[in-house]
Amino acid sequence: MDNRPIGVFDSGVGGLTVAREIMRQLPGENMIYFGDTARVPYGSKSKDTIIKYSRQIVRFLLTKNVKAIVVACNTATALALKELQKENTIPVIGVIEPGAITAAKTTETKNIGVVATESTIKSGMYTTFLRELDPQITVVSKACPLFCPLVEEGWTDDRVTDEVIARYLHELKDYEIDSLILGCTHYPLLRSAIGRYMGEGVKLVNPAYETAKSLRVLLEEQQLLNTQTDRGHYTYFVSDGVDNFVAFADRVLPCEVKLTSIVNIESY
């Protein structure tokens, strides 16, 4: 009924894993993606900075007449989602709650691992959500800052990456975790390598997948689903470095990125 696009934003290329899930699960929707490639990474920045950046991006997306916004970045979700939800009348959803709900539902040992950026881990947002859902849950978290550059380098299946994974995750093996939340946009691209290291007993939760599922429910409930034939249009904007963005997008997305434009995001 509503063919306005969904606005999706991230600190850079990582949110394309969320965009990909939205394309797969909601093929009838149009989408505007913004990647803040000039100011990435968000994962080591302060709350005030992330709120400022996120507000600018939302102001930009609103000029594109979006009907809902997905904060496709764990760090921005952890540090800015609440403010964005308070300030905007259209629905704004993040990636943390959907992943946390799934992990809380599936864990049997009640021990859940979370891997994410430094800022996401420091915010304690995953732990807060999980323990609100079930106070018996114990959360073991670990910041893994080297995972993002490894993914961007394309080393998703590489001996060096396997070593880095072992170095970060070995301490998680001391706890009886049966679920591990991949709480950073890039980490689902390391799913096979992380899965190999953690073993079959640990279920990997991909917040990107769960977010697209939540988005569908939200659009249905608010009668915002696009049922018109004008569908599947995806437009990309970045704040810098179009070529790198397109090269990464072509590795991740199921369709070719035809046009990416640069936005002076500081002016919003």
Cβ(99)–Cβ(207) below 8 Å: yes
Six-digit token string for 161: 């990456």
CA nearest neighbour of 51 among 24, 12, 78, 31: 78
How far apart, in Å, do the first and last CA atoms of the chain sit? Answer: 30
Q: Which of 144, 148, 184, 255 is catalytic?
A: 184
Q: Does 99 bind ligand DGL (CB under 6 A)?
A: no
CA distances from 53 to 117, 122, 125, 265 (A): 17, 19, 19, 8
Based on CB atoms, which residue is closest to ligand DGL, 69 or 73?
73
Q: Does 37 bind ligand DGL (CB under 6 A)?
A: no
Contact with ligand DGL (CB under 6 A) among 5, 7, 14, 99: 14
255 tagged catalytic = no
Applying CB under 6 A, which part among 71-79, 85-93, 210-218, 241-249 lies near ligand DGL? 71-79
Q: Mark residues 207-236: x for contact with ligand DGL by CB under 6 A, - for none.
A: ------------------------------
Nearest distance from C-beta of residue 110 to ligand DGL, angstroms: 25
184 tagged catalytic = yes
Conformational region of residue 65, where left means phi above 0, alpha means psi within -120 to 50, and beta covers everything else: left
Six-digit token string for 178: 């049966």
Q: Does 42 bind ligand DGL (CB under 6 A)?
A: yes
Q: Does 73 bind ligand DGL (CB under 6 A)?
A: yes
Rounded Cα distance between 226 and 168, Å, is 42
Q: Mark residues 129-148: x for contact with ligand DGL by CB under 6 A, - for none.
A: -------------------x
Rounded Cα distance between 14 and 29, Å, is 20
Six-digit token string for 102: 């799934």
Give catalytic residues, as residue numbers: 73, 184
Please give the residue ranges that form the binding site for ligand DGL (CB under 6 A): 10-12, 14, 40-43, 73-75, 117, 120, 148, 184-186
